[in-house]
């Protein structure tokens, strides 16, 4: 059993498709162990994406992630990290396989509907970034 962090990004929240995205997770064997809807401030978004600080798209990414509320979730299940990445599809929605969340619901590489941890180690850190132990059930 693994846990991973998922974020429904501002574009998908604005489109009112939180439920459609959550259905992809629940229909594919992932369970929501924690969830909250929050508006990220620039410091929090910047710290969360600190790994991308030197990349040319960092500022756009922070601008986008603070442009509206997000839904942050802990997903739990067998191979949760990999399974979530498969359900999400490629970072660039144009390259994402049909039937994935990004292919079906995202517009472009900036506004790509969801975030998902890319390794078990990052998942642990990202979950601890947003949730305390008692909030995960």
* From 18, 61, 120, 136, residue interacting with ligand GDP (rule: CB under 6 A): 61
| Residue 15 CB contacts under 8 Å (≥ 6 apart), including other chains | 105
Nearer to ligand GDP, 105 or 132 (CB): 105
CB of 22 to ligand GDP, least distance (A): 18
Per-position x/- string for 108-137, each x denoting binding to ligand GDP as judged by CB under 6 A, each - no binding: -xx-x--x--x-------------------
Nearer to ligand GDP, 20 or 58 (CB): 58
Is there a contact between 77 and 83 (Cβ–Cβ < 8 Å)? yes
| Residues classed as catalytic | 115
| Residue 92 CB contacts under 8 Å (≥ 6 apart), including other chains | 102, 108, 109, 112
Show contacts with ligand GDP in window 89-108 (CB under 6 A): 91
* Structure token digits, residue 107: 């517009």
- Cα 31 to Cα 28, 73, 101: the distances in Å are 9, 10, 17
* From 26, 60, 78, 135, residue interacting with ligand GDP (rule: CB under 6 A): 60
Is there a contact between 132 and 119 (Cβ–Cβ < 8 Å)? no
Count interface residues toward ligand GDP (CB under 6 A).
9
Binding site for ligand GDP (CB under 6 A): 57, 60-61, 91, 109-110, 112, 115, 118
């Amino acid at each position: 059993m693994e846990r991973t962090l998922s974020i429904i990004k501002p574009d998908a929240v604005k489109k009112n498709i939180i439920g459609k995205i959550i259905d992809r997770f629940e229909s594919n064997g992932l369970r929501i162990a924690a969830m909250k809807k929050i508006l990220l401030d620039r410091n929090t978004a910047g710290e969360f994406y600190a790994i991308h600080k030197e990349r040319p798209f960092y500022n756009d990414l922070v601008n986008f992630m603070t442009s509206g509320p997000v839904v942050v979730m802990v997903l739990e299940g067998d191979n949760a990290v990999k399974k979530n990445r498969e359900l999400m599809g490629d970072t660039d929605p144009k390259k994402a396989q049909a039937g994935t969340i990004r292919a079906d619901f995202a517009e472009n590489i900036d506004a790509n509907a969801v975030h998902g941890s890319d390794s078990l180690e990052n998942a642990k850190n990202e979950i601890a970034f947003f949730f305390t132990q008692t909030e995960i059930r």
